[in-house]
Each structure stands twice: as structure tokens, then as C-alpha cells.
Chains A and B, each alone.
Chain A
Amino acid sequence: MMIPFAQRLEGLGYPELQAARVDTLQVNLGWRCNQACKHCHLEAGPDRPEQMARETVEGVIQAVARWAVPVIDLTGGAPEINPHFRYLVDRLYELGVHLRSRSNLTVLLDPGFEDLPRFFRDRRVELICSLPYYQEDMVDRLRGPGTFQKSLEALRRLNRLGYGEADSDLELHLMYNPAGAYFPPHQEDLEKIFRRELEKRYGIRFNRLYTLLNMPIGRFKEHLQRSSNLEMYMGKLAASFNPATVMGLMCRTLISVSWEGRLHDCDFNQALDLPLAAGLPQTIREFDLPALETRAIRLEDHCYGCTAGQGSSCGGRVAGEV
């Protein structure tokens, strides 16, 4: 029987998990995506109607301007598909914040989006791009046929613009996640392998590799259930709980806003429709930094996904030694 996550933390002396500060606002621009990956916790895909409206985009800009949130992290779905994406990036760039955007890479080759790499370069946007392996078979099984070759082409275009190059400040990071019900490798070890193989095989360069554990929710949970792996996977997550990850969890320094403008402790809580605790601001229009940066974080058992082994977050591993 798995101990509930909140009880596990309580046993460590944390009756509640409190935020440390808010230095990142993660903006989910919608669940529409040109891909439908097997592990997606939001079950994003081409037919999803959820898209952030212009009014909500304005709310994001106003909150960032008023509270001077230093880092804005754009995600989706494929955030680029949102019709207000470029408008939002331009306004945020004018505000002088650090801009980070997550890309599935293939969207950068779609008609109407081919100029995005230059758009990103001109606004010094840091890119975090999904590439779960350096082999075609593994990537296409997870993300759909043809994804790997398109991803390579997009990476080559980004490299040509200076992204990921040693003498450039244009940051290009890759995001790895396992192709199934197992944990990610040690981040730095895998980064060395990726760097060697991507350079040797395809002449592609990048800055950092981040490893992400597949969260047992959404489409990945359905896969775990279908393959009779859910109990094993949840047991493994709980058994691999690493107390050294707790203070570094991303929810302690980040707040997530959904396409509807609702605030959540993270993108996973957003996927599960878990709002912030009662009494806190609930929407981007009510954004109030002092209240949010001391909030108690809402915990459920999927949180074991961020504390297993080396830990997992939108910025890769959380703990050093496991």
C-alpha cells in the first residue's frame, strides 16, 4: 500500500510544502499540438480546441509587468500554434524578462511557422526542445512517424542561426523523457552520450540535456493501465522517493497559468484540474505575488513523479547524487 505523498512529506517534518518564491511564470498557451505523443500528460493533439484567448494573454502581460516576474516559460501543447503567441512574445520581450519557450521542433517546419527560428533569435528566446533520444526508432515510436527526421532538420536550422553553439548566447536545450515505463538515466551521463552521438551522427549541437520522468497522468497513465504497468510504476515511484529533491521541486519557485487563465502549482496540477489552495488568487487577473510566493502547494500522489531518484522537473533533474 503506497503512503500518500502528503503523508510522506509530513513524516519528513513538512506538514505542508511551501513555495520559496515565484521566479518563473509558466504560461500554457493551449493544448493544441501538431503532434499527439504517447506520454503527453495533457493529451494534447491537433484536434484539441483549448487555446488561450487574447484577453487572457493581456492578463498575463499585465501580471508580468506589474509584478516583474523575471522568467516566463511558454508551453502547451505547441505554444507556437496559438494565434497570439508572437504578440505575447513581443510584449514580454519589451518588458525585458527572460523568455523561455518549449518547442516540439516539428512545428518549426510547418507552413506559416518556418520563420519562427529567426523570430526566436531576434528576441533572444531560450529554447527547450523535445528530443527523447538520438535514434529514429525510439523517437518515432513515442512521438509519431517522421518526427525524428523533422526534429533533426529543425535542430540544424537552429544551429545555423547560432542556437546551441559554443560561442553563442542563444540557448538550445534538449528534453529527454523515457520511451516507456522506466526512469530516465542520470542526466549528466546521458548528456555526454547525446552530445557525442548527435554531433557524430548528425552534426547537431546543443547546450544542456534535461531529463524528465514520465508523469503517471493523462495519456501516459492510460498506457500504464493498458499495459498493466500502473501498479508497478507507482510502486517504483514511491519506493524511489528521494528526500533530497523536496527543497528543489519546481513548484516551490514556479507558478503555472492555464489557457483559461487559471493558476496552478504546476503544469501537472493543471492537467488534473487541481486549483491552488482555497483562499489564494485563482486567476491571472488576481495574480498577487506576495500571496503566491508564500503559498502552501497542493499535493497529490502524482507528486512522487517529481521526487523519484534524481528528481524531475521542467528544468530536468532536481537532486545531484541519488
Chain B
Amino acid sequence: MKIKTCLASRNSPNTARSFYDIFMNYYQEVMAAGALTVREKALIALAVAHAVQCPYCIDAYTRVSLESGSNMEEMTEAIHVAAAIRGGATLIHGIQAHNVAAKITF
């Protein structure tokens, strides 16, 4: 079943389709060239795809990155940025654990 059919035909077909179309229009506008180029946006999307671990997005934005002129060196660096931010966020949340522990322990 195609994604559009699947997401637009359950229960309230008209409302669902409208939401789907609105989202896709928004998506396309966001990914089009603006202050950032299509190539830069594809690299951001590739990094986010890895951060949220979406296999479909990884597949799609690997292709889009290559087709917008990026190379594997740039794409790998983008993936490391995602890993660094995720890793850094994990680590910094350790403060919360330390604060909680400090509050409830002697």
C-alpha cells in the first residue's frame, strides 16, 4: 500500500488526506533551496535521519546527498555531528542524575 493511501484513508479520509497534503507541501517547501542550499539541507537531513535512526530517511538522504554533490567525507562528518550531539546530550543529562542523587542522599 502506498504511504499516501495508507495515511490518508483511515477513519476520516478527507481530514487525513488534507493533513497529509498539508504536511507534504510543508515538507517540500522546507527542503527546497532557501537561505540554505538543497545540498546543505540534505546533509542536515542525513544527520537527523541517523539521530532518529530512521532507515527510510537514511536511504533517501544518502541518495539525495550524493545527487546534490556531497561526497562520503562530508556525509560521514555530518553523521559524526549527529553522533556528537546525541552523545553530548546523553552525557550532559548525567547532571540531572547527579542532582537527583545529591538531593536524596547524604
Contact residues of A with B, CB < 8 Å?
133, 135, 137-138, 178, 180, 182-186, 189-190, 193
Contact A186 B66 (CB under 8 A): no
- Return the chain B residue nearest A190 by Cβ: B69
Contact B71 A186 (CB under 8 A): no
Most buried by B among A138, A180, A182: A182
A177 to chain B minimum Cβ distance, whole angstroms, is: 12
Q: In this assembly, does B73 line the interface, its C-beta being within 8 Å of a C-beta of chain A? A: yes
Chain A residues, CB < 8 A from B37: 189
What are 28 A-B pairs with beta-carbon distances under 8 A?
A133-B71, A135-B71, A135-B73, A137-B72, A138-B71, A178-B66, A178-B67, A180-B66, A182-B63, A182-B66, A182-B67, A183-B67, A184-B67, A185-B39, A185-B67, A185-B68, A185-B69, A186-B38, A186-B68, A186-B69, A189-B37, A189-B38, A189-B39, A189-B68, A189-B69, A190-B69, A193-B39, A193-B69
- Return the chain B residue nearest A184 by Cβ: B67
- Return the chain B residue nearest A236 by Cβ: B63
Interface members, chain B 51-106 (any A CB < 8 Å): 63, 66-69, 71-73
CA A181 – CA B63 in complex, angstroms? 9
CA A180 – CA B66 in complex, angstroms? 10
Chain B residues, CB < 8 A from A186: 38, 68-69
Chain A residues, CB < 8 A from B73: 135
Chain B residues, CB < 8 A from A190: 69
Chain A residues, CB < 8 A from B67: 178, 182-185
A179 to chain B minimum Cβ distance, whole angstroms, is: 8
Chain B residues, CB < 8 A from A182: 63, 66-67
Most buried by A among B37, B38, B63, B67: B67
B63 to chain A minimum Cβ distance, whole angstroms, is: 6
A48 to chain B minimum Cβ distance, whole angstroms, is: 30
Chain A residues, CB < 8 A from B63: 182
Most buried by B among A137, A180, A185: A185
CA A193 – CA B40 in complex, angstroms? 12
- Return the chain A residue nearest B68 by Cβ: A185
A143 to chain B minimum Cβ distance, whole angstroms, is: 16
Chain B residues, CB < 8 A from A185: 39, 67-69
Most buried by B among A178, A180, A186: A186
Chain A residues, CB < 8 A from B72: 137
CA A178 – CA B67 in complex, angstroms? 8
